[in-house]
């Protein structure tokens, strides 16, 4: 049982380049999330998908797009990377049930030069 997987683990981009961060979960969770983590800022929600076929903006959506490809996969795209998007990106999925905890992937460390 792999849980939540993310690819790639590390990436360096030049300003203006584009890339897609991939996320997949094998826990049959309905909801999936993308966060970014910056020093001293905690985790901030970029986009989320409450269920297959729906996506919504979070706290910091500018400069990003998402696709909920199917129930398992939720990708995050940077169309034109900027240095301000240098961050660690986490994907998460949420269990059903009373506790509602989110399970996180290992993260992608992205540097934009």
Partner 1 sequence: AQKITQTQPGMFVQEKEAVTLDCTYDTSDPSYGLFWYKQPSSGEMIFLIYQGSYDQQNATEGRYSLNFQKARKSANLVISASQLGDSAMYFCAMREGLRGAGANSKLTFGKGITLSVRP
Q: State the residues that interact with partner 1 by CB under 8 A.
A: 31, 33, 35, 40-45, 48, 50, 58, 88, 90, 92, 94, 98-104, 106-107
Nearer to partner 1 by C-beta: 41 or 80?
41
Q: Which long-range contacts (CB under 8 A, 24 or more apart) does 94-100 make?
A: 94/29, 94/30, 94/31, 94/32, 94/33, 95/27, 95/29, 96/29, 96/30
Nearer to partner 1 by C-beta: 1 or 99?
99
Q: Is the dihedral of CA 9, 20, 105, 64 positive or negative?
A: positive
Query: Is the bond preceding 8 in cis, omega lying within 30 degrees of 0?
Result: yes
Nearer to partner 1 by C-beta: 10 or 14?
10
What's the closest the beta carbon of residue 61 comes to partner 1, in angstroms? 12
Nearer to partner 1 by C-beta: 17 or 45?
45
């Amino acid at each position: 049982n792999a849980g939540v997987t993310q690819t790639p683990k590390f990436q360096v981009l030049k300003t203006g380049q584009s890339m897609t961060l991939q996320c997949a979960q094998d826990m049959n969770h309905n909801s999936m999330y993308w966060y970014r983590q910056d020093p001293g800022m905690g985790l901030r929600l970029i986009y989320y998908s409450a269920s297959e076929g729906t996506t919504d903006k979070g706290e910091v959506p500018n400069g990003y797009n998402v696709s909920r490809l199917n129930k398992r996969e939720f990708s995050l795209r940077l169309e034109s990377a900027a240095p301000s998007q240098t961050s660690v990106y986490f994907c998460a999925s949420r269990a059903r049930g009373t506790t509602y905890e989110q399970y996180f992937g290992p993260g992608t460390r992205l540097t934009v030069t």
